[in-house]
Amino acid sequence: MSVRLLSSTLRGQVRSRIKTKSAWTSPWICEACKFKGWSRPVSSTAQPAIEKPYYITTPIFYVNAAPHVGHLYTMVLTDILKRWQVLRGRRAILCTGTDEHGMKIQQAAAKAGIPPKEFCDLTSETFVQLAERVGLSNEHFIRTTDEAHKDAVQYFWFMLKTRGYIYQSKHEGWYSVSDETYYPESAIEKRLDPYTGKTFMASQETGKEVEWSSEFNYHFRLSAFKDKLLEFYKANPEFVVPATKMKDVVKWVSEGLEDLSVSRPVERLTWGIRVPDDSSQTIYVWLDALVNYITKAGYPWAPGQQNAGGWPADVQVIGKDIVRFHCIYWPAFLLALGLEPPKQILAHAHWTLGNQKMSKSTGNVVNPTFAMDRFGVDVMRYYLAHDGGIANDSDYGNHLIVERYKKGLQGGIGNLVSRITRPKIWDVRKSVEAARDDTLRRAGKSTREQAQMLSELSRVVNMKMEKLDPGAALQLIMDAVYETNRYLQFNSPWLLAKTKDMHTPRTEDESGDRVYDLVDLNQLRIERTIYHCAEAIRIVGILLQPYMPTKAAQLLDMMGVDEARRTFEDAQFGADFTYGEPKVTPGKGPFEGLFPPLPVET
Backbone angles phi, psi at 396, to 5 degrees: -80, 140
d(CA 465, CA 468): 5
13 confidence band (pLDDT: 50, 70, 90):
very low
Q: Using omega within 30 degrees of 0 as the cis cutoff, is the peptide bond preceding 493 cis?
A: no
Burial of 484 (0-12, 13-18, 19+ CB in 10 A): buried
Would you state the pLDDT for residue 43?
37
Domain presence at residue 588: no
Percentage of the residues of the chain whose pLDDT score is greater than 90: 68
The better pLDDT of the pair 508, 370 is held by: 370
Same domain, 104 and 246: yes
**CATH for 192:** 3.40.50.620
Domain presence at residue 31: no
Would you state the pLDDT for residue 302?
86
Question: Which among 412, 579, 594 has a CA at the least distance from the CA of 488?
Answer: 412
Same domain, 533 and 486: yes
Same domain, 369 and 472: no
Domain presence at residue 207: yes
Least confident piece of the model among 50-59, 144-153, 387-396, 429-438 = 429-438
Kindly list the distances between the CA atom of residue 270 and the CA atoms of 117, 282, 284, in Å, as whole numbers in the listed order: 12, 7, 11
Domain ranges, residue 475: 398-570
Same domain, 204 and 275: yes
**CATH for 412:** 1.10.730.10
pLDDT tens track for 334-391: 999 999 999 999 999 999 998 887 776 667 789 999 999 999 999 999 999 999 999 9
Percentage of the residues of the chain whose pLDDT score is greater than 70: 84
pLDDT tens track for 575-591: 999 999 999 877 665 55
431, pLDDT greater than 60: yes
pLDDT tens track for 446-458: 999 999 999 999 9
Same domain, 254 and 324: yes
Contact 10, 36 (CB under 8 A): yes
Question: Which among 576, 206, 487 has a CA at the least distance from the CA of 361?
Answer: 206
d(CA 261, CA 264): 8
pLDDT tens track for 511-523: 555 444 556 678 8
49 confidence band (pLDDT: 50, 70, 90):
low
d(CA 175, CA 288): 18
pTM reported for the whole predicted model: 0.85
Q: Which residues contact 463 (CB under 8 A, 6 or more apart)?
A: none
What per-residue string of b and e applies to 288-305 under the rule 16 or more CB within 10 Å gives b? bbbbbbbbbbbbbbbbeb
Contact 104, 64 (CB under 8 A): yes
Amino acid found at 574: G
Helix, strand, or coil (residue 184): coil
4, pLDDT greater than 60: no
Same domain, 209 and 70: yes
Number of domains in the chain: 2
Domain presence at residue 237: yes
Q: What integer is the mean pLDDT of 98-107?
A: 93
540, pLDDT greater than 90: yes
The whole-chain average pLDDT of the chain stands at 86
Amino acid found at 183: Y
Q: What integer is the mean pLDDT of 307-316?
A: 96
Same domain, 363 and 423: no
d(CA 477, CA 19): 45
- Name the region of 432 (left: φ>0; alpha: ψ -120 to 50; beta: rest): alpha
Amino acid found at 537: I
15 confidence band (pLDDT: 50, 70, 90):
very low
Q: Which residues contact 99 (CB under 8 A, 6 or more apart)?
A: 59, 60, 61, 62, 63, 144, 285, 289, 292
Domain presence at residue 281: yes
d(CA 338, CA 271): 30
Would you state the pLDDT for residue 306?
83
Domain presence at residue 277: yes
Would you state the pLDDT for residue 584?
85
Same domain, 427 and 357: no
Radius of gyration of the chain (CA): 29
28, pLDDT greater than 80: no
Contact 366, 123 (CB under 8 A): no
Domain presence at residue 261: yes
Q: Which residues contact 406 (CB under 8 A, 6 or more apart)?
A: none
What per-residue string of b and e applies to 200-219 under the rule 16 or more CB within 10 Å gives b? eebbebbebbbeebebebbb
Same domain, 295 and 411: no
Q: What integer is the mean pLDDT of 252-278?
A: 94
Q: Which residues contact 253 (CB under 8 A, 6 or more apart)?
A: 226, 229, 230, 233, 328
Domain presence at residue 172: yes
Alpha helices (H) along 439-520: 445-466, 470-491, 493-496
Same domain, 419 and 292: no
Same domain, 436 and 323: no
67 confidence band (pLDDT: 50, 70, 90):
very high
Same domain, 365 and 402: no
